[in-house]
Amino acid sequence: MSESDGSGYRILGIDPGTKRIGLAISDPLGVTAQGLETFEVGKGIDFIDLLRDLVERYRVKVIVLGAPLALGGKEIEGTERSRRLAYRIRRQLGIEVVLRDERMTSLEAERVLKDGRGMRNAGNVDRLSAVLLLQSYLDEKGT
């Protein structure tokens, strides 16, 4: 089966960062999340162009975008960056974007990866953070 086959549409999860952006995609049924390659910011590729390709390739209908908050729930600088990115995605790709609290995803990803030999690099943490963000959305949506 190719990546775009299947009866359902896909949901893309994004864990945004200033150096790397973690990406994850749902299965066609919207039950599980799998990590994609981590996007390296500033490598000469426009992130919106990459998203356009992913949206077409995977038939993405919704993007779940992490919006970092302080531990107390207050907005921080990263929250506004996520809002601006969500606006750009909606405007340039015409796709629904759901902002989702991502406070604990990076900490949880680091915890999960800490015992993996050679697995705890920044790209893996970002990828797993995107998977955890998307999986929590899928789990909530499915109940």
The pTM score is 0.82
Angle between helix 122-142 and helix 105-113 axes, rounded to 10 deg: 120
- Tens digit of each residue's pLDDT (9 = 90 or more) over 71-90: 777 777 788 999 999 999 99
- Tens digit of each residue's pLDDT (9 = 90 or more) over 8-67: 799 999 999 889 999 999 999 999 999 999 999 888 889 999 999 999 999 999 999 999
Contact 93, 113 (CB under 8 A): no
CA distance 97 to 141: 15
Domains of the chain: 10-137 (3.30.420.140)
